Amino acid sequence: MMMKIAIDFSKTAQQNALHYFDQAKKLKQKIKGAEEGMQKVQSKLAELAKKDHSLPQKKSPQLLRKKEWFEKFHWCYTRHGLLVVGGRDAHSNEALVKKHLEDRDWYFHADIHGAPHCVLKEGKARAKKEDMEDAAAFAALFASGWKKGLFSVRVYSVSNEQVSKKAPAGESLGKGAFMIYGERKWFDPSMKMGIGVQKAGEANRIMSGPYEAIRKHCSIIAEIIPGEKTKTEVAKSYLKWLQKKLPHAQELTLDEITAALPNGSLALHVASA
């Protein structure tokens, strides 16, 4: 490539030469400045990269999952896949019975003060013997027996129309309280409780309830037994074990595990394998 040079004939050859010498000198200074600037940028980038590696790495984004209506209550699936739901407090007990106890459902309640109202959805039409047993066990497990040291709790079931907000004359019913009329079917359920991880689409969620039902639908299963720890302490132990088994299931939180446990003195039992 040939470079063209303009000659100013009003100047001497020496003056023209000095002009281009000055231009070359200025250009050389610009190139040097650009090179120094580039070196500073590269040095800064290297410094930032070093800092980035020294920082804790961000966790992978959690899988966002739309929760189903029953997940604000205690809940689980029976061995044959029927949904059983229980209240958490007076407010949710009231809402569960008023909004979600329907004609095709069975109502369950443990025979102990402070027990939640429980509903076996589609129970009248589809429930098998094992489903009724699981629903009764569920009602017993989330009663207040753990706090009182009672590990044998009787449970009854009735049809939806036997549950009423109508109190006897001269009496009133508070929030979460209902009257039961007519005959009751009684159960003496197993108090063996499990907690595990159930698939919910592409994500995971925590399910707790009767051990055999949990074993049917879940993985990473542990047994909840009487002990001396709070449910928060037990939840932390289960989460630590869970993170070893499912390191990428970051959507499973301590709050979700804690909410799945009954109140009382508990312990966690996991298989040695």
Q: What percent of the chain has pLDDT over 70?
A: 78
Cβ burial 66-91 (10 Å sphere, 16+ → b, else e): eeeebbebbbbbbbeebbbbbbeeee
Whether 214 contacts 198, CB under 8 Å = no
Residue 60: the pLDDT is 47
The pLDDT of residue 262 is above 50: yes
- For the stretch 38-49, pLDDT in tens is 777 677 767 766
Residue 119: the pLDDT is 98
229-248: average pLDDT? 93
The pLDDT of residue 137 is above 80: yes
Residue 249: the pLDDT is 75
Beta-bridge mates of residue 198: 205
Residue 20: the pLDDT is 58
- For the stretch 55-105, pLDDT in tens is 444 444 556 678 999 999 999 999 999 999 999 999 999 999 999 999 999
CA-to-CA separations, 103 to 120, 158, 160, 204, in angstroms, rounded: 11, 12, 6, 31
How far, in Å, CA of 122 to CA of 116, rounded? 19
Q: How many C-beta atoms lie closer than 10 Å to residue 202's C-beta? A: 8
Residue 160: the pLDDT is 93
Predicted TM-score (pTM) of this structure: 0.75
How far, in Å, CA of 39 to CA of 220, rounded? 54
Dihedral sign computed on CA atoms, order 26, 29, 34, 35: positive
Per-residue confidence band for 50, with pLDDT thresholds at 50, 70 and 90: low
258-263: average pLDDT? 95
- List the Cα angle 146/152/153 in 5-degree steps: 85
Task: Between 99 and 247, name the one with better pLDDT.
Answer: 99
How far, in Å, CA of 154 to CA of 193, rounded? 16
- For the stretch 198-232, pLDDT in tens is 998 888 999 999 999 999 999 999 999 999 999 99
Residue 154: the pLDDT is 95
- For the stretch 140-159, pLDDT in tens is 999 988 877 777 899 999 99
In the chain, where the domains are located? 69-187, 193-269
